Amino acid sequence: MTGQRHKFSCASCGKPFTYWVVDGNSHPKPKCYFCGKDFYPNGEPPKEEAAAAAPAVVGAPAVVGAPAVVGAPAAAPEKPA
Ligand SMILES: [Zn+2]
């Protein structure tokens, strides 16, 4: 299985931590190892996606959407144009 470490900030305690995210998983559910809280930083996966992710087929997915930008500050204020 391939993937990358992604950096998340805990939704509960706010501490930064890294979590291994499998390629193609756009809705990872990292677990904070400071407080044990798990959460969906990208929102909960749609039902179809959760079902599609269930089969344990090993092999590179042929088409993988662009990985969600993880590590960008969630609370970055948008500057007015
Ligand atoms: Zn935490």
Conformational region of residue 51, where left means phi above 0, alpha means psi within -120 to 50, and beta covers everything else: alpha
Cα 4 to ligand 1 centroid, rounded to whole Å: 20
At a CB cut-off of 8 Å and minimum separation 6, what does 67 contact?
A: 4, 21, 23, 26
Phi, then psi, of 50 in degrees rounded to 5: -65, -40
pLDDT band at 1; cut points 50, 70, 90: confident
Cα 33 to ligand 1 centroid, rounded to whole Å: 7
Residue (of 50, 62, 67) closest to 4 by Cα position: 67
Tens of pLDDT along 13-71?
Answer: 999 999 999 999 999 999 999 999 999 999 998 887 666 666 665 665 666 566 666 66
Rounded to two decimals, what is the model's pTM? 0.54
pLDDT band at 80; cut points 50, 70, 90: confident
Residue (of 74, 78, 77) closest to 9 by Cα position: 74
**What amino acid occupies position 66?**
A
Which is more confident, 59 or 9? 9
Cα 34 to ligand 1 centroid, rounded to whole Å: 5
Cα 49 to ligand 1 centroid, rounded to whole Å: 26
Cα 18 to ligand 1 centroid, rounded to whole Å: 12
Cα 20 to ligand 1 centroid, rounded to whole Å: 16
